[in-house]
Structure formats: structure tokens, C-alpha cells
């Protein structure tokens, strides 16, 4: 039975991905900053461990406790929506610490054992914001775009050791806790000069034509883990799939 370590499992994509892998008969190490009982089905195949991806000691403890890891799913992340001008650099650094450096740190921690076994899969969950330019998401997009480039390069680098690196790109999901982990309120990031610009954008967020379900992302992660064709990117959700097709066709 294979082992998957999934970060950011307290809610949203991570929680659903943990459920999905359990349903497929895998051993799952579900990690989150503050472990919560009852959110995942009781199973001898499940372990819930505390993890702060921005803390080196926390990462080291999880890697030691987890044992052999066949699949790492880097899902933990925080969002920020607002005018870039009004977003404190201190908060942008926090976003990068989790969304970018947290992914780098977890990946670096798990590579040695995968390299020694010459087997393993690393799946990095980014965003459809990397597929098209979204307003009021500059800092968040930058943190995720870094992982896009990182994963593409890593796929070549680790392929030499039979380790696969993959990207899952979720679309917009209004039901996820996108900004709940942030200490900065959205309304504080929309100063008066941006109000007229922001209003129709937030209205479109509230009534999107297509949205991504948590199950879409879980299934895309599963597909990425089991893919052996060399495909790098796996858009998740109807809107992300549409954006990916548009990008591939050269549309703007």
C-alpha cells in the first residue's frame, strides 16, 4: 500500500484530496497547522500530523514521523486579494513563505528518500491565476507563478531519478477558505481610488460562470499522481480547463 503526504488538509482541496486517496486504499498522512478530529473518516490508513510548512523544525518532525513517502502533495497555501499598492509587503512575504518557500522546503525535505528509492511523485497545487492575468491578485499570482516555473524545471531534474513532478491548477472556487488564513481583511486592501475598478470584479467573483469543486481538484491530483505520459500540468475545474485550452491555443 502506498503512502501519500498531503499538506493543508484542514479544509478545502487538501481535505477532499485526503478523503479521495483514502477511498482509493492509500495510506494518508494528512497534515495541517492545528490537527482537528472528526474531519476525516476514522481509518487505520490515516494519520493526522501537525505541520507548519514555514517552520524547518516542524517539517523535519513530519518527515521523520511519516516514514517512506511515495507521494507528496504540496497543497497548503494562503490567498490575498486586493490592490497591490495597498498590500503590505510584510503580508506579501507571509504569502510567499507559505505558497512558495513552504513548497520548496517540503520538496527539498522529501527528495532524498525518493532519490534513494528512485521512485516517487511530487504534486504542487497552484492556481488558474497562473493561466491568465487576474486583477487584484498580483501578489498571490506571483507566489504561484514561481511554483509553476519551479515544477517545470524540477520535472527535468528529478526525472533522472525516476521521480515525477506535476502541477495541479485549480480554478476559482468560492466555497474554499481562500483568504481565511490571512491577517489582512480584503476591504482594507481596496483603497478609495480602486473602489470603482474593484466593484465589478468582486461582483463577477460572486457570480462566476464556472466554478471549481473540491472534488475536481482531488481527482486532478489523483490523475497527476498516476500519470506516466510526461504530462506536467493538470487543470482542475471547468474554468481552469477552459483557461488552459485558451492558453494552449494562443488566445488572450
Catalytic positions: 140
C-alpha cell at 1: 500500500
What is the rounded distance in angstroms from the CA atom of residue 80 to the CA atom of residue 240? 19
What is the rounded distance in angstroms from the CA atom of residue 10 to the CA atom of residue 32? 6
Under 8 Å between Cβ of 25 and 3: no
Residue listed under C-alpha cell 502541477: 167
C-alpha cell at 136: 487584484
Q: What angle do CA 232, 233, 236 make, to 5 degrees?
A: 150
Neighbouring CB atoms inside 10 A of 132's CB total 16
Amino acid at each position: 500500500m502506498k503512502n501519500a503526504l498531503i499538506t493543508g488538509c484542514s479544509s478545502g482541496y487538501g481535505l477532499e484530496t485526503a478523503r479521495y486517496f483514502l477511498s482509493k486504499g492509500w495510506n494518508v498522512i494528512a497534515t495541517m497547522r492545528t490537527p482537528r478530529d472528526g474531519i476525516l473518516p476514522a481509518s487505520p490508513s490515516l494519520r493526522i500530523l501537525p505541520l507548519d510548512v514555514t517552520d524547518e523544525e516542524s517539517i523535519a518532525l513530519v518527515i521523520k514521523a511519516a516514514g517512506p513517502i511515495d507521494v507528496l502533495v504540496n497543497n497548503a497555501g494562503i490567498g490575498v486579494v486586493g490592490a497591490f499598492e495597498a498590500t503590505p509587503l510584510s503580508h506579501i512575504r507571509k504569502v510567499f513563505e507559505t505558497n512558495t518557500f513552504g513548497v520548496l522546503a517540503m520538496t527539498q525535505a522529501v527528495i532524498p528518500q525518493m532519490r534513494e528509492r528512485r521512485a516517487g511523485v511530487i504534486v504542487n497545487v497552484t492556481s488558474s491565476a497562473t493561466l491568465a492575468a487576474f486583477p487584484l491578485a498580483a501578489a498571490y499570482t506571483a507566489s504561484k507563478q514561481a511554483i509553476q516555473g519551479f515544477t517545470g524545471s524540477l520535472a527535468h531534474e528529478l526525472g533522472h531519478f525516476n521521480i515525477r513532478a506535476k502541477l495541479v491548477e485549480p480554478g476559482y472556487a468560492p466555497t474554499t477558505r481562500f483568504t481565511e488564513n490571512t491577517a489582512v481583511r480584503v476591504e482594507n486592501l481596496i483603497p478609495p481610488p480602486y473602489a470603482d475598478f474593484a466593484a465589478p470584479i468582486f461582483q463577477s467573483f460572486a457570480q462566476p460562470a464556472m466554478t471549481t469543486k473540491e472534488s475536481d481538484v482531488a481527482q486532478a491530483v489523483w490523475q497527476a499522481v498516476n500519470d506516466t505520459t510526461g504530462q506536467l500540468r493538470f487543470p482542475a475545474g471547468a474554468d481552469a480547463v477552459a483557461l488552459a485550452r485558451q492558453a494552449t491555443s494562443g488566445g488572450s
